[in-house]
Structure 1
Amino acid sequence: MVVPTAERDSGASYVVGRDELCELMVQRLRDEHRRRPLLLVGGIGTGKTATLVRLAEMLMATDVVPVGIDLRTVMDPAKLNFHQLALEQFQKTIDSQLHAAGEADKVWRRLWLENRTVVLADGLEEVLADSGQPADRDSLLREAVRGAVRLPLVVASRPDDPLHGLDALLLQLEPLSTGAALEYVQTRSHRSDAGQQWDRITELVKAADVADSPFYLRVISQLHEVDRLDRVGPTDQGRSALRWCLLEEWRAATVAGDLHEDYGMPQTERTDAIEVLSALACIGLRDNRLGAVALSDRRTC
């Protein structure tokens, strides 16, 4: 509910090994004298959004109100204002719970004066990234971040050239340790015989080099849940080939109905849905707008 770009399945967003980073961000955000916008940078599938979710949980535990905004929806340069975007999102979130018009503004001002708000913005790399993006996009991004210097702000982004010119503290999202990656898989497991396959899981995590990718960790976890890990090829075939085998087996498990059994779809419809989503993913990669395509067409599918 707080981070609009997060998946609805809270378990899918759960990532271990990020508490230390989140604690550092909380300290920075709460310090009014040393406050600067924080820029959280990581590649596709490294868990940026999940880290924002964990940060939101830690902020709420300290009586701070996190306000999440989806930057992928910003298409108008005139609307690229972090403070205004956060206020609008805050109003949408709580207006239905208030009786008097304008009450949301009063609540926002009180929280602001008490230093009890933090803005969590996701998807900076896709701001104004449509075909008609302005030629001075980089300048607009720099000006927007500079204008938010007093705002308790965390911005998540994939690596992007303009990031180095922003007036913000850059935090690189480092890969999880192997131990944390294995803990993630173990935490998601509901099987009582997890220990019997632990050597196989450890072997796959290391050989596929997926400690930096919660997405692949989820694939391994889901295949383990439906007893399909033994169908994945040998671990000595190289990282890329092994990752491909994991994806192919995950696809087969989805089509067969072993995964997502709560969706009453025949195998033909499951196959067609995967083909359509694959095409959309290719379009997103081509246009460097993977997140926007996935978000918009996930609702359609």
Structure 2
Amino acid sequence: MAVFLIPFLIILGIFAFEARDELVGRLDFLLPDFRLPVRESEPSAAAPPQQSILRQGPPEAPSPPLQEQGANVYADWIEISSVRRQDPYLITLRTDIPKGSELILTGWSLESRVQTFKVPQGVKLVPAGLDGAVFAPIVLEWGDSVKISGAQNPFKPKFSFRPNACFGYLKETTEFPVSVPSSCPSDIPKIEGVSHLSPACQDFILDFDRCKEPPPYPATSSFANDLQCKNFYENLKFQLSYAGCVKTHKTEDDFFDNEWHIYVNEEERLIRSTHDRILLKDPDGVIIDEYVY
């Protein structure tokens, strides 16, 4: 009888194998998803900031007023060094400006017990013939000094100026109450530069005076009709003049003198000839220096 049960058991096993997926699905439906609750950690409280153990220093002192700052700086940069009381009076300002720095003097003032004089603009490069003078603020640099004179201004129109290496030519025709350079660059050719000319022409040119314009070309000389000599003279004549000197040398480092010459209106005497007190003030009216005599 057991033999007859074998086919029946085989059929039952096949049926059970095919129904396994449906049985598993029913079990998933009957048994809900069971999970252990997980306790979330609470955020940790922020740690209080640590206080610095370094002690704070005393509060910074407030900056001094701008006028006081200017007085402290300029007092070391410029001063009244001397005063000549006799006519024409002369006031000299001496500077000690650091290299690379500058001081604009225009707008400053000199104040005595009788008058106040405000420094005007000036002409750094005096033009030939005084035409086309360019006025600009007077700027002082390291090593500069200032001469302030009550004499008559040597130029018309009147202006303050900075002497240069070519002023020797101007001294021929202009009287300067305050001394200016009397020398000038040596532009007169040497013998090597005129050796191609005739001997008489060479003697004529080599006899030129330094810092003076050449004399007129001689019309009755032995070389009067020497075109080579005459052309050489005409070219040299411009070079040996104030205009030619400026054109040739104005870009050289030592062309300008280290002085400014400023002329006060000669109709108004700035200082007393007896005793006085002179104040040097910056554009803000701050007293930078005082001179008593």
- TM-score by length of structure 1 reads 0.22
Q: Which has the larger radius of gyration?
A: 2
